[in-house]
Amino acid sequence: MSQRPAKIVMATGNPGKIREIARLLGGLGIEVVAQSEFGVTDADETGTTFAENSLIKAQHASDATGLPAIGDDSGLSVDALDGAPGVYSSRYAGPECDDESNNDKLLAELDGIADRGAAFHCVATFVEPGGGAPLVAHGEWRGSILHARQGNGGFGYDPLFFVPDCYCSSAELEADEKNARSHRGQALRKLVDLLQQKYA
């Protein structure tokens, strides 16, 4: 059994992610802090898979702070587009794009295509200073791509992602319900299970 750390740095400045992982880790008594609190900038996402980028982010935060770190990477993979936009989900329409232009491009790419199956993926990775095998967890949320936006909640591709068992888009789900089902929620809960086994 490893020594339980007092603090873990999260390779993000997103307060929502911080709150989610902090709540999940509450039972272990580990403080979760954003890398931005240490002045750590975002890592260059040079990986070609979600797992590679997740590890890059976690390692970057750990190297910069000397603390254990968690990084995650996520995106949308569309069956008919051979997994695109994939790791390029946030910049699908170009380096200066926004959610609206990404969604417009996705709708254009799928125009006239009947197979609209898709999945959100997330890989969350935990690393410790000084090496050692990382802990890695994967979450997948399957659905399909709508023909037009639905709902005003969420972000990214949520207005186009149809959730079959809820019969609505991800953007129409309440935040708690979305977190309970989402790829990120799945990955983080699995990672917390691994951390609980490691530090119990």
Inter-helix orientation angle 183-199/15-24, to 10°: 40
Q: Which two tokens stand for residue 125?
A: 């990775």
Listed in sequence order, the residues at least 6 apart from 135 whose beta carbon sits closer than 8 Å to its beta carbon are 125, 126, 191, 194, 195, 198
| 73 in active site | yes
Which of 42, 63, 73, 115 is labelled catalytic? 73
> Distance between CA 14 and CA 12 in Å, rounded?
5
Q: Which two tokens stand for residue 157?
A: 């591709």
Instruction: Kindly tell me the burial class for residue 186, based on how many C-beta atoms sit within 10 Å of its own C-beta (0-12, 13-18, 19 or more).
Output: buried
Between the CA of residue 76 and those of 42, 89, 149, 162, what are the distances in Å? 21, 6, 16, 12
Whether omega for the bond prior to residue 95 falls within 30 degrees of 0, making it cis, is: no
Question: Taking the alpha carbons of 99, 9, 68, 23 in that order, is the dihedral positive or negative?
Answer: negative
Q: Is 65 helix (H, G, I), strand (E, B) or coil?
A: helix
Catalytic annotation, residues: 73
